[in-house]
Amino acid sequence: MKLWNIALRNISRNKKRSILSIISTAIATFSIVALFSYIEGMEKDMKNIAFNYDSGEILIRNSEFDDKIYSLEKSVSNYSKVLNILKKEMPYLELSPRLRFPSTVIKDDRTNICFGVAVDFTTEIKYLGLNSKIIEGEIPKNSRDVLMGIGLAEELGLKIGDKFTPITTTKKGASSGITFVVTGFAKFSSGAFTNKTFLVPLTEIPGILRMEGEISEILIKNVKEDLLNEETKHINNILKNNNFNDIAATPWTKIGLGAAMLKMADVSYSLMAIFFFILSSTVIANTMLMVVFERKKEIGTLTAMGMTSLEVTRLFFIEAFYLGILGAFWGLILGIIIVLPLSYFGLDMSEMGENIDFGVSWIIYPQLSPKSTLLVFIYSVFVASFISFFPSKSASKVDPAVALRSI
């Protein structure tokens, strides 16, 4: 108990040195907390992009559909019946029927490649949170109205009320030009939707594309993550029992590049975290080493007064432990104070990612994870305490007379 009290007195007696140690530990702790929160936000955002725009948590489409060769021939037939059955059997699911069709728009001798997506706007108001995405105009009401991504609108030089005619290909392979009226602009979370996509009502388009009663896919979400494979299997059983043998449900983890990109991002973020751990450890270590080596004369005094080498080492360890706790605590508090508002208001990345068309959102919402936050706190205290052990042990073995003559 005596060593603990001496350690506290030493900390309060040498305020400048103690404050320096606390600040260095706090900055290192805050940096790691902020980085981890940003990584958590990025991973959550990538999943949200996949679930809302690309594949849903589960995707129903033609069993022979090929991601590499987009074809309207590989479609979901009699989709209204499929929706009704799923709504009856699994009423808790959110279902989004969509018909994607590649399009070309020629403007001022320039050819612009984009995608049209025919949707049920009543469904998408909830599924996509569509009302919050509109920045000008309104949701389409008529079959030839369009809600366009603001990036695509700017590229084509279109305003509310303008008409444009994308050229697409029907299921039979014939070219077809469809004239639409722009009724609204939206800034979606997905760069691909904002920069390259326009939404139209799912009423007249299937007929124009010679796909009456057909769509390209059904996105499904509101599935519990730990039940993803079981729910997918259950949906496939429902489809087979109702003789829908040409379509199948697939979990998002097995579709396209979404899951692969998330895994790559997870590895990249882990490497970044390791780098920050090392960098932060270096900051803490340098400060603690400086504190110990500057006190050689004090160590000589303590040993001359009869304190053993082990007691000196323990004393410096306890001091570093106290300083580590204080620094980690205030770094944690600072991290929480800064990250919590950002988790609500978001971090606007639109200027950095305005030309990115996939995988990322315009606004990242950092997420505080109790598990990783506690880990950072323990790690920071451990580093601060552990680093002090070696130099203090070495210094405690120096002859008191030599230590007292050192500056």
Q: What DSSP letter does each residue of 91-130 carry, written as one string?
A: TTSEEEEEEEEEEEEEETTEEEEEEEEEE-HHHHHHHT-G
Strand partners, 137: 184
Gap between the Cα atoms of 317 and 331, Å rounded: 20
Q: Final residue of a domain: which of 208, 239, 255?
A: 255
Task: Give the model's confidence band at 76: pLDDT under 50 very low, under 70 low, under 90 confident, else very high.
Answer: very high
Q: Provide the H-helix boundaries in 222-369.
A: 228-241, 258-293, 296-304, 309-345, 350-353
Among 129-138, 207-216, 269-278, the least confident range:
269-278
- Together in a domain, 33 and 90: no
What lies within 8 Å, CB to CB, of 349 at 6+ separation is: 360, 361, 362, 363, 364
Q: Do residues 144 and 198 lie in contact, with contact meaning Cβ atoms separated by under 8 Å?
A: no
Average pLDDT over residues 244-250: 93
Give the highest mean pLDDT range of 16-25, 244-253, 292-301, 304-313.
Answer: 244-253
Specify whether 44 is located in the same domain as 61: no
Strands 247-251 and 76-77: unpaired
Q: Does the pLDDT value for residue 289 go beyond 60?
A: yes
Instruction: Show the domain range for 6.
Output: 2-51+260-405
Does residue 366 register a pLDDT over 70?
Answer: yes
62 and 103 in a single domain? The answer is: yes
pLDDT of 128 reads: 93
Residues linked to residue 98 through DSSP beta bridges, in sequence order: 119, 217
The Cβ of residue 282 has, within 10 Å, a number of other Cβ atoms equal to 13
In 3D space, the residue among 221, 237, 241 whose CA is nearest the CA of residue 59 turns out to be 221
Within this chain, do residues 172 and 286 fall inside the same structural domain, yes or no?
no
Which among 255, 270, 292 is the end of a domain?
Answer: 255
Assign 283 a pLDDT band (cuts: 50, 70, 90): low
Domain identity same for 74 and 181: yes
Residue-wise pLDDT for 326-345, tens only, equals 888 998 999 999 999 988 88
**Tokens 């306890």, residue located:** 318
352 and 221 housed in the same domain = no
Residue 73 shares a structural domain with residue 216? yes
The number of residues in the chain equals: 407
Q: Among 255, 276, 305, which residue terminates a domain?
A: 255
Q: Are residues 110 and 212 in the same domain?
A: yes
Contact 392, 316 (CB under 8 A): yes
What is the number of structural domains in the chain? Answer: 2
Tell me: do 87 and 38 sit in the same domain.
no
Furthest CA-CA distance within the chain: 97
Same domain, 264 and 383: yes
pLDDT band at 4 (very low <50, low <70, confident <90, very high): confident
Would you state the pLDDT for residue 295? 65
pLDDT, residue 258, reads: 59
Residues 219, 86 share a domain: yes
Residue 186: per-residue pLDDT? 95
For residue 286, pLDDT over 70 is answered with no
Judge whether residue 50 has pLDDT over 80. yes
Give the model confidence (pLDDT) of 130-186 as tens digits: 999 999 999 999 999 999 999 999 999 999 999 999 999 888 888 888 999 999 999
Domain identity same for 195 and 279:
no
| Among the listed residues 306, 372, 377, 365, the one whose alpha carbon sits nearest the alpha carbon of residue 339 | 365
**pTM of the predicted structure, to 2 decimals:** 0.76
Mean predicted confidence (pLDDT) in 340-356:
72
Distances (CA, A) of 54 to 35, 63, 301, 352, 383: 27, 17, 69, 22, 43
